[in-house]
Amino acid sequence: MSHLPASSATAPALRRRLGRVDLIAMGVGAIVGAGIFVTTGVAAATKAGPAIMLSFVLAGVICVLVALCYSELASMTPRSGSAYTYTRESMGEGPAFLVGWNLLLELVVAGSAVAIGWSGLFTAACKSLFGVTLPTAVTAGPSAGGVINVPAVAIVAVIVGILVLDVRMTAAVVKTLVVVTVGVLVLVIAIGAPHISTSHWTPFAPFGVHGIAAGAALAFFAYLGFDIVATSAEETKRPGRDLPWGIIGSVVIATVLYVAVAAVLTGVAPYPSLNNEAPVATALEALGAGWIGDVILVASVIALTKGLLMLFYGQTRLVFALCRDGMLPRGLSATSSRGAPRRLGLVLGVVGAVIAGLLPIDTVAELVNIGALFAFAAVALGVMVLRYRSPERPRTFRVPLMPLIPVLAIAGCVWLLTTLDGLTWVRFAVWSAAGVAVFLLYSRRHLVTAPVSQQDPMPVATTEGVTA
């Protein structure tokens, strides 16, 4: 096998420019998307009733357990790659590549699905607010997407343009969009809270405990974006201190927002009435706040924009780590003068634009989900492996109640995996088999031999005016 060294002179590195507020904003931006305006009401109407509040709490607790595991590994290994990097540290190259390969599927396909959804919302907003009907495809059809979904391709191009310029610009854009989205959610809560009637909460759990669990399984996927915070480890000024804040803080903030919105929706309207495409607008229109519909439509476009930005950010940083380690062609890991993986961003942008432009959303959406839970379980297992195999390694953050927390995190992920349908497992098996073939035929022959912890030691804070 031909191995390439990972010396500081040859291995590309990203620049450390992100602080604690940046990370929390990026996490909230990735987690709190347009789905909160739709999923909350639909899940209440079809899964859990008013007990959807407990479903969000349950899903949030599982995410916090996983986030604690992420935080310890991120403080030990402050490099890009997230679950892939942590799995390589704890279990070796083969399992790590499989984790990264499945995360890649989730991020790339999810990004394309969000771009298609953004196209639909954007065209609806233009028609509602300005009376302008935009062409969504070169050849229009009855289904979402089309031969070439023009708005979807256009938004991917804009997102890639932001990403390849500068991570500070990305963080600034995300913070702005997060403020707008959270502001609209606070507005919804403020308008609805005084009109909550507890009579709408009776019965509280009409679908029983099973309904609460089913609601949690549906709600859990609204939290998946916190993994993207971990991918920014190599661009964080003080990763040991700030990454745990970013990962855990974003999950907690998102949980509070989800529960508060769920309480308002189920408190101002009977939960069966929320089973529609705009449950928040439906609930508030009954209170005489019909204008809120246009506000929510605009907020949904903004939420999807920042969600798309974070998904493409996560893609580039994950594949950057895979390429730098030789798992995929190392030439793609080259960084620009501003420290951004420009070449990689352009390649992934083209892939995402092709998927979003040529496929209908239902075909794309079917390919998302299972890889993230697989990666989360691997991270929780990796914490236990490293705690007992390398107890002497410095950890600026340690998972409490070891090994209870990671065991509970794994159990939660496995439980949610059992809720997925058989076709999802078939797709997972096919994609994983393809990953094994890539690893055996290419990655194993080109990978860097040194473990990540021995490659290019990173200072706690560096470059461009960042002080230690």
Domain-embedded: residue 466: no
Q: What is the pLDDT of residues 375-430, one digit of tens each?
A: 889 999 999 999 988 888 888 889 999 999 999 999 998 988 887 778 778 888 99
User: Which CATH number fits the domain that encloses residue 410?
Assistant: 1.20.1740.10
Q: Is 360 helix (H, G, I), strand (E, B) or coil?
A: coil
Q: Is residue 401 part of a domain?
A: yes
Domain span including residue 268: 20-449
Q: Is 97 in contact with 443 (CB distance < 8 Å)?
A: yes
Measured between alpha carbons, how far is 146 from 139 in angstroms, rounded to an integer?
6
Which of 306, 372, 316 has the alpha carbon at shortest distance from 32? 306
Q: Does 432 reside within a domain?
A: yes
In this predicted structure, the answer to whether residue 47 has a pLDDT above a threshold of 50 is: yes
276 within a domain of the structure (yes/no): yes
H, E, C per residue of 110-121: HHHHHHHHHHHH
- The pLDDT > 70 percentage for the chain reads 82
Q: Tell me the two tokens of residue 372.
A: 């993230």
What length does the chain have? 468
What pLDDT is stored for residue 296 in this prediction? 78
Whole-model pTM: value is: 0.77
Which range (169-183, 364-378, 430-444) has the least confidence?
364-378
pLDDT at residue 200, as a whole number = 92
Q: Is residue 2 part of a domain?
A: no
Residues in Cβ contact with 30 at an 8 Å cutoff, skipping those fewer than 6 apart: 225, 226, 228, 229, 250, 306, 307, 310, 311, 314
Q: Identify whether the C-beta of residue 125 lies closer than 8 Å to the C-beta of residue 112.
A: no
List, for residues 176-232, the tens digit of each pLDDT value: 888 888 888 888 888 888 989 999 999 999 999 888 888 887 777 677 677 777 777
Evaluate whether 31 touches 251 at the Cβ level (below 8 Å). Answer: yes
Which ranges of 131-166 does DSSP label H, i.e. alpha helix? Answer: 150-165
Across 34-45, average pLDDT: 77
Q: What is the pLDDT of residues 228-245, one digit of tens each?
A: 777 777 778 887 778 888
Q: Which residues contact 249 (CB under 8 A, 6 or more apart)?
A: 23, 24, 27
The DSSP 8-state label assigned to residue 197 in this structure reads -
For 202: left if phi > 0, alpha if psi spans -120 to 50, otherwise beta; the answer is: beta
Q: In the predicted model, is pLDDT for residue 453 greater than 60?
A: no
Percent of the chain clearing pLDDT 90 (strictly above): 15
Q: Is there a domain that residue 3 lies in?
A: no
Is 150 inside a domain boundary?
yes
Total domain count, the chain: 1
Q: Of the segments 25-29, 333-337, 458-462, which one has the largest average pLDDT value?
A: 25-29
For the ranges 7-16, 273-282, 301-310, the lowest mean pLDDT is seen at 7-16
Q: How confident is the model at residue 14 (pLDDT cuts 50, 70, 90)?
A: low
Does the structure show a pLDDT above 60 at 365? no
467 domain-assigned: no
The residue with greater pLDDT, 39 or 266, is: 266
The Cα–Cα gap between 133 and 127 comes to: 5
